[in-house]
Amino acid sequence: MTVYYIITHNCNLLCPHCIRGASNNNNMNTQSAIAGLNKLFDDYPNATIILSGGEPTLHPDFDIILQEASKLFRCVVINSNGTTNYFRTSDSWEQNNIIVQFSIDGDENTHNEIRGKGNFEKVIQNIEFINHNNKQIWISTTVSKNNYDSIKKLPAIFCKYRIGKWQIAPMMPFGNASRSDIISIDEWNELVDELIEITPFRLGVRKLFDIQKLISLTDSDIQRIADNSRNIDFRNCGCLRSKVYVYPNMNVYPCTCLTDMPLGRLSKDTLKSILEKANQSCKICSFEKCRKCRYFPICNGGCWGMQKKYGADIRCPLIGELTGV
């Protein structure tokens, strides 16, 4: 289980693809944050905790929350844009069970066009500082039409540094992001193939709606995959299976794309009880042709956020023409 712990909506950037939309000063109460982490540990001691935002290092008590999370959990990720001075003014992040992850969305020119002038240099300086302190860095990249041509330049840039993992995901049409800027599934899957070929370090990326692989499956293959909750090769969404989101008000959501659908509140109930109720009652996909699809048992309709917003996952090549979206 991966828990995205959204401890603040405050951010020092205004990225056009940000899935969470406009920044504000809404911070998670520190005592509530600590109590929530302990509740999570009671139910899911092996969970990965991702401290995120906004920009999580802008939370006024970030160090306190980070230290509590790292005491409890074996893996804690700081999901930062990499532009703040936090990493030069604190040493809490140096613990072995803490992963520092920065966002880079292209080469210098492309990244600065997306995230603001001078921000690429700030991230690189923080990467160099963290590497100098004998720690690897993880990188996350969001791919859209605005940076698609720049992505293949990044492995050569990253090879200069100690990169533990490069996480790559396609932009989703929520928050600040525009539907017109998302790339097609064909473009995404072609990019995945190319990056696997040219990237010499660990890569967190996979194809989506891989039709060629899907059509090779027998009925028994589909049933076996559907019965295996750990098999993510064909699942295009991790909602309620492998991830949840806890927001500053302690509301629990299946995804950051579904903030109009709170499942419960961590300050009142345990995550385990919240998810048990949600798994019994949470039915998103209502598109009939999608439900009749041979691959529905393993795909489950793709992105639940898109289903709710558009009636179907608009990226799926099997239903895109049928939905009229």
Q: What is the pLDDT of residues 288-299, one digit of tens each?
A: 778 788 888 888
Predicted pLDDT of residue 234? 64
Tell me, yes or no, whether 298 lies in a domain.
no
Nearest CA-CA partner of 164 in 78, 242, 55: 78
Tell me, yes or no, whether 265 lies in a domain.
yes
Distance, CA of 252 to CA of 254 (rounded, Å): 7
Distance, CA of 197 to CA of 97 (rounded, Å): 30
Predicted pLDDT of residue 290? 80
Tell me, yes or no, whether 269 lies in a domain.
yes
Tell me, yes or no, whether 55 lies in a domain.
yes
Tell me, yes or no, whether 314 lies in a domain.
no
| Count of domains for the chain | 1
Nearest CA-CA partner of 261 in 272, 274, 270, 269: 274
Predicted pLDDT of residue 325? 42
Assess whether pLDDT exceeds 70 at residue 22.
Answer: yes
pLDDT tier at 273 (50, 70, 90 boundaries)? very high
Strands (E), the chain: 2-6, 48-52, 75-80, 98-103, 137-143, 163-170, 203-204, 243-246, 251-253, 264-265
pLDDT tens figures, 24-56? 889 999 999 999 999 999 999 999 999 999 999
Tell me, yes or no, whether 297 lies in a domain.
no
Q: What is the CATH number of the domain that holds 183?
A: 3.20.20.70
- Structural domain that includes position 177: 2-283
pLDDT tier at 233 (50, 70, 90 boundaries)? low
Assess whether pLDDT exceeds 80 at residue 128.
Answer: yes
pLDDT tier at 324 (50, 70, 90 boundaries)? very low
Tell me, yes or no, whether 309 lies in a domain.
no
Tell me, yes or no, whether 221 lies in a domain.
yes
